[in-house]
Structure 1
Amino acid sequence: MMSDDRFDVIIVGGGIAGTVAGYLLAREGLAVMLVERGNYAGSKNMTGGRIYSYGLGRIFPNFVQEAPLERKITREKISLMTAESNVTLDFYSEMLGLPGSDSYSVLRGVFDQWLAEKAEEAGVQLVAGIRIDDLLVREGKVCGVIAGNDELEADITILADGVNSLLAQKIGFCEELKPHQVSVGVKEVIGLPARVIEDRFGCREKEGTAWLFAGTPSGGRSGGGFLYTNKESISLGIVCTLSDLVNGTKSVPQLLEDFKQHPVLEPLLTGGELIEYSGHMVPEGGLAMVPRIVGDGILVVGDAAGFCLNLGYAVRGMDFAVVSAECAAKAVLAAKQAQDYSEASLTCYQSFLDNSCVMKDLKHYKNFPHFLETTPRIFNRYPQLAADMLTDLFVVNGQPAEPIMKKMLRHVKKVGLTNLAIDGWKGARSV
Structure 2
Amino acid sequence: MADEKFDAIVVGGGIAGTVASYLLAKAGLEVMLVERGTFAGSKNVSGGRIYSHSLEKIFPDFGREAPVERKITREKISLMTEESSVTLDFYSGSLGKQGSDSYSVLRSVFDQWLAEQAEAAGVMIVSGIRVDDLIVREGKVCGVIAGEDEMEADVTILADGVNSLLAQKISLCRELLPSQVSVSAKEIIELPPEVINDRFHCQDNEGTAWLFAGFPSGGRTGGGFLYTNQSSLSLGIVCTLSDLVEGDKSLPQLLEDFKQHPAIEPLVKGGKLVEYSGHLVPEGGLAMVPKLVGNGVLVIGDAAGFCINVGYAVRGMDLAVTSAECAAQAVLAAKDKQDYSEVSLKEYETNLDKSYLMQDLKLYKNLPHFMESTPRIFDGYPRMAADMLTDLFVVNGQPAKPLLKNMFKHVRKIGIANIMRDGWKGVRSL
How does the TM-score come out when normalised to structure 1? 0.99
CA distance in 1, matches of 2:425, 2:85: 25
CA distance in 2, matches of 1:107, 1:4: 37
CA distance in 2, matches of 1:176, 1:43: 25
Cα deviations across residues 215-274 of structure 1 (Å, max 9, x unaligned)? 010000000000000000000000000000111111100000000000001011110000
Q: Which runs of 4+ in 1 moved over 2 A?
A: none
Matches within 5 A, 1:18-417: 18-417=17-416
**Is the 2:218–2:254 Cα contact (8 Å) retained in structure 1?**
yes
Cα deviations across residues 70-123 of structure 1 (Å, max 9, x unaligned)? 000000000000000000000000000001100000000000000000000000
Question: For residue 259 of structure 1, what is the amino acid of its counterpart?
Answer: F
What SS is found at the alignment partner of 2:280? strand
Question: For residue 330 of structure 2, what is the amino acid of its counterpart?
Answer: A
Select between 62-71 and 87-96 the one with higher mean Cα deviation: 62-71
Cα deviations across residues 326-366 of structure 1 (Å, max 9, x unaligned)? 00000000000011100111101000000111100000000
**Could you say which residue in structure 2 is the equivalent of 1:11?**
10
CA distance in 2, matches of 1:228, 1:294: 35
Question: For residue 191 of structure 1, what is the amino acid of its counterpart?
Answer: E
Shift of 1:51: 0.0
What SS is found at the alignment partner of 1:225? strand
Shift of 1:3: 5.8
How does the TM-score come out when normalised to structure 2? 0.99
CA distance in 2, matches of 1:15, 1:246: 28
Q: Percent identity?
A: 73
Question: For residue 250 of structure 1, what is the amino acid of its counterpart?
Answer: K
What SS is found at the alignment partner of 2:120? helix
Cα deviations across residues 111-160 of structure 1 (Å, max 9, x unaligned)? 00000000000000000000000010000000000111111110000000
CA distance in 2, matches of 1:149, 1:346: 29
What SS is found at the alignment partner of 1:59? coil
CA distance in 2, matches of 1:4, 1:395: 76
Cα deviations across residues 12-53 of structure 1 (Å, max 9, x unaligned)? 000000000000000010000000000000000101210000
CA distance in 1, matches of 2:61, 2:379: 44
Shift of 1:398: 0.8
CA distance in 2, matches of 1:180, 1:21: 29
CA RMSD of aligned residues (A): 0.6
CA distance in 1, matches of 2:245, 2:180: 14
CA distance in 2, matches of 1:98, 1:428: 29
Which blocks of at least 5 consecutive residues in structure 2 are unaligned? none
Shift of 1:5: 1.0
Shift of 1:4: 3.5
Select between 281-290 and 395-404 the one with higher mean Cα deviation: 395-404
Aligned length: 430
CA distance in 2, matches of 1:194, 1:402: 46
CA distance in 1, matches of 2:192, 2:78: 25
Shift of 1:62: 3.4
What SS is found at the alignment partner of 2:371? helix
CA distance in 2, matches of 1:95, 1:4: 53
CA distance in 2, matches of 1:64, 1:272: 27
CA distance in 1, matches of 2:303, 2:66: 24
**Is the 2:2–2:152 Cα contact (8 Å) retained in structure 1?**
no
Question: For residue 420 of structure 1, what is the amino acid of its counterpart?
Answer: I
CA distance in 2, matches of 1:3, 1:227: 45
